C-alpha cells in the first residue's frame, strides 16, 4: 500500500521522486494524510471539493461568471459585449476577461464539435454567439478582441496541424482590426504577442510589437506574462534572455505593481525536467524569486486581477520547498479557482491543484497545524 501511495503521489506531481528512503517514507505519510483530506477538503479547512473547482478562472470574478452563465443560457453575445463595455480601460481586468470569454467559446466549439461528429451530421454549433457577435456588431472592439484571442486558442490546440499558420495569420488580421477599433487599447497587441511567437517572428519585429504594448500599458502584468515565453529557451530565446526581461520589468516596476513577481515565472519556465529535489527549491535563486513574489503581493491591491496568477505559482513553489504554512495561506486566498499556471499546463488542472493542496495540508499538519488553527491568527 505504501508503494502504491508513493506511485500515486509521484504521478500526481508529474515526475519521478529520487529521494533517500527516509524522505520517501515521510512523503508517503504526508501523501496519505493529504489524500484523506483531499477526499473531504471542506472538513475543517473550508476548501472546495475537487469536482467543484473552477478551471476557467484563476480567481473569482462574479460579473464575468454571471455573463458566462447568461451566454450559456441564451447563446446571446450581448452579455459579453456589455461586460467588456463596463470593464472599460481597466486593461489588466479586460485582458483577463477577453481571455476567458474566448476560452469559453473555444471550449464550446470543441465540445459541441465532438458531439456533432458523434451524431454524424456535420453541424458545428459551438461558440455560435461569438460568430454572431462579429456578424451583427463588426465595429465592436470587444468582439474583435475576443475573436482574435479565440483564433489564437484554436491554433494552439494543435500546433502541428497544417492549419496552424493559417489560423495564426487570420488571428493577426483580426488583431489589427481590433487595434483600429480601439487605438488606445493594448489588448490586441497583447494577443498578437502569442501570434508572433507562433509565427516565429524575428526578435527585432517582436521588439517592435512589444513597444506598441509598452506605449499603451508599460507595466501590464498580463502583457509581460504573455511576452515572457518568446524570450525563453523553449521558444526563441534563452534562460539568460528571459531572466533579463523579467528582471528589467521587476526593477522598473512602479509602486503597487505585481511585476516584481515576474522573475518567479521566468524561473519556472526554465526548471529542469527532473526537478523534485527539495534543495533546488531552497536555492538562493528560487528563494529570491519567491520573496519577490511575496513583496509584489504585499504592495499590489488585494483585488488586482493578476494576483491569483502569482498566488497559484507560489503554491507550487512553496509546497516543493516544504514551506507549508506559507502555501496554506496562499491556498486560503485562491482556493476554488484553478485556471492558472502551473495547473493549466497539465491534462487535469483541478486534479493537479488538488494534489498539491493535499500535500500542503499534510505538511501543515505534520508541523503541528490543525484545521482549528487555520488560518493562523493575524492572517
> Does residue 74 share a domain with residue 184?
yes
User: Which residue, among 170, 238, 146, 237, has the nearest Cα to 200 in the 3D structure?
Assistant: 237
The answer to whether residue 263 is domain-embedded is no
* Burial class for 210, CB neighbours closer than 10 Å (0-12, 13-18, 19+): buried
Q: Three cell numbers at 269? A: 519556465
> Does residue 79 share a domain with residue 17?
no
User: 10-19 — which CB contacts under 8 Å span 24+ positions?
Assistant: 12/351, 12/352, 12/355, 13/276, 13/352, 13/355, 13/356, 13/359, 14/346, 14/352, 15/273, 15/274, 15/275, 15/276, 16/274, 16/276, 17/276, 18/274, 18/276, 18/277, 19/276, 19/277
Please give the pLDDT value at position 30: 44
> Does residue 52 share a domain with residue 90?
no
User: Rounded to a whole number, what is the distance in angstroms from the first to the last CA of the chain?
Assistant: 38
Q: Which of 195, 218, 241 is the last residue of a domain?
A: 218
How far apart CA 85 and CA 279 sit, in angstroms, is: 48
H helices within 157-283, ranges in order?
A: 164-181, 187-198, 203-216, 221-227, 239-251, 262-269, 278-281
- Structural domain boundaries enclosing 94: 62-218
The answer to whether residue 4 is domain-embedded is yes
| C-beta neighbour count of 60 within 10 angstroms | 13
Q: Which of 218, 235, 253 is the last residue of a domain?
A: 218
Q: Which of 191, 218, 245 is the last residue of a domain?
A: 218
The answer to whether residue 153 is domain-embedded is yes
Structural domain tally of the chain?
Answer: 2
Q: Three cell numbers at 23? A: 524522505
Task: Give one DSSP letter per residue of 119-173, joined into a string.
Answer: HTS----TTHHHHHHHHH-TT-HHHHHHHHHHHHHHHHT-TTSTTHHHHHHHHHH
Phi (first) and psi of residue 55, to 5 degrees: -90, 0
For helices 349-366 and 21-39, give the axis angle rounded to 10 degrees.
Answer: 110
The answer to whether residue 248 is domain-embedded is no
> Does residue 367 share a domain with residue 346?
yes
> Does residue 121 share a domain with residue 143?
yes
> Does residue 165 share a domain with residue 37?
no
CATH code: domain of residue 171: 1.25.40
> Does residue 67 share a domain with residue 52?
no
The answer to whether residue 228 is domain-embedded is no
> Does residue 202 share a domain with residue 69?
yes
> Does residue 148 share a domain with residue 53?
no
How far apart CA 293 and CA 317 sit, in angstroms, is: 11
Distances (CA, A) of 155 to 4, 162, 164: 39, 10, 5
* Burial class for 82, CB neighbours closer than 10 Å (0-12, 13-18, 19+): middle
> Does residue 66 share a domain with residue 55?
no
The answer to whether residue 116 is domain-embedded is yes
Q: Three cell numbers at 10? A: 509521484
Please state whether 14 falls in left (phi above 0), alpha (psi between -120 and 50) or beta: left
> Does residue 55 share a domain with residue 90?
no
Q: Three cell numbers at 24? A: 520517501
Specify the residue for cell string 527539495. 278
Please give the pLDDT value at position 277: 62
The answer to whether residue 226 is domain-embedded is no
The pLDDT averaged over each successive group of 10 residues in the chain (379 residues) is: 36 33 38 45 80 93 96 96 97 97 91 58 68 97 98 92 95 98 97 97 97 98 98 95 97 96 96 69 90 97 95 97 95 95 92 96 91 66
Q: What angle do CA 185, 190, 192 make, to 5 degrees?
A: 115
Please give the torsion angle defined by the CA atoms of residues 119, 124, 130 and 131, in that order, rounded to the nearest 10 degrees: -150
How far apart CA 37 and CA 32 sit, in angstroms, is: 9
Amino acid at each position: 500500500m505504501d508503494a502504491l501511495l508513493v506511485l500515486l503521489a509521484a504521478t500526481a506531481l508529474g515526475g519521478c521522486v529520487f529521494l533517500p528512503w527516509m524522505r520517501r517514507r515521510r512523503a508517503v505519510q504526508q501523501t496519505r494524510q493529504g489524500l484523506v483530506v483531499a477526499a473531504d477538503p471542506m472538513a475543517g479547512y473550508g476548501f472546495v471539493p475537487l469536482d467543484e473547482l473552477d478551471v476557467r478562472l484563476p480567481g473569482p470574478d462574479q460579473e464575468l461568471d454571471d455573463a458566462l452563465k447568461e451566454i450559456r443560457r441564451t447563446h446571446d453575445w450581448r452579455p459579453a459585449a456589455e461586460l467588456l463595455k463596463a470593464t472599460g480601460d481597466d486593461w489588466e481586468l479586460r485582458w483577463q476577461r477577453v481571455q476567458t470569454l474566448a476560452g469559453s467559446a473555444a471550449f464550446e466549439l470543441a465540445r459541441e464539435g465532438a458531439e456533432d461528429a458523434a451524431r454524424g451530421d456535420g453541424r458545428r454549433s459551438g461558440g455560435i454567439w461569438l460568430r454572431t457577435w462579429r456578424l451583427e456588431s463588426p465595429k465592436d472592439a470587444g468582439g474583435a478582441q475576443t475573436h482574435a484571442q479565440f483564433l489564437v486558442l484554436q491554433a494552439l490546440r494543435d500546433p502541428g496541424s497544417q492549419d496552424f499558420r493559417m489560423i495564426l495569420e487570420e488571428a493577426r488580421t483580426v488583431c489589427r482590426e481590433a487595434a483600429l477599433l480601439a487605438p488606445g487599447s493594448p489588448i490586441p497587441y497583447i494577443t498578437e504577442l502569442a501570434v508572433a511567437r507562433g509565427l516565429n517572428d524575428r526578435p527585432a519585429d517582436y521588439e517592435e510589437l512589444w513597444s506598441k504594448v509598452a506605449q499603451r500599458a508599460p507595466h501590464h502584468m498580463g502583457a509581460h506574462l504573455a511576452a515572457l515565453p518568446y524570450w525563453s529557451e523553449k521558444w526563441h530565446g534563452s534562460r539568460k534572455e528571459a531572466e533579463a526581461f523579467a528582471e528589467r520589468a521587476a526593477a522598473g516596476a512602479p509602486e503597487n505593481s505585481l511585476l516584481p513577481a515576474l522573475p518567479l515565472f521566468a524561473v519556472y519556465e526554465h526548471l529542469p525536467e527532473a526537478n523534485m529535489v527539495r534543495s533546488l527549491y531552497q536555492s538562493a535563486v528560487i528563494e529570491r524569486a519567491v520573496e519577490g513574489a511575496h513583496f509584489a503581493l504585499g504592495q499590489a491591491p488585494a483585488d488586482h486581477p493578476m494576483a491569483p496568477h502569482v498566488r497559484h505559482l507560489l503554491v507550487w513553489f512553496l509546497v516543493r520547498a516544504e514551506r507549508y504554512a506559507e502555501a496554506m495561506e496562499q491556498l486560503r486566498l485562491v482556493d476554488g479557482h484553478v485556471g492558472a499556471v502551473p495547473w493549466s499546463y497539465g491534462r487535469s488542472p483541478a486534479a493537479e491543484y488538488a494534489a498539491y493542496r493535499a500535500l500542503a495540508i499534510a505538511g501543515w499538519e505534520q508541523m503541528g497545524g490543525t484545521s482549528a488553527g487555520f488560518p493562523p491568527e493575524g492572517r
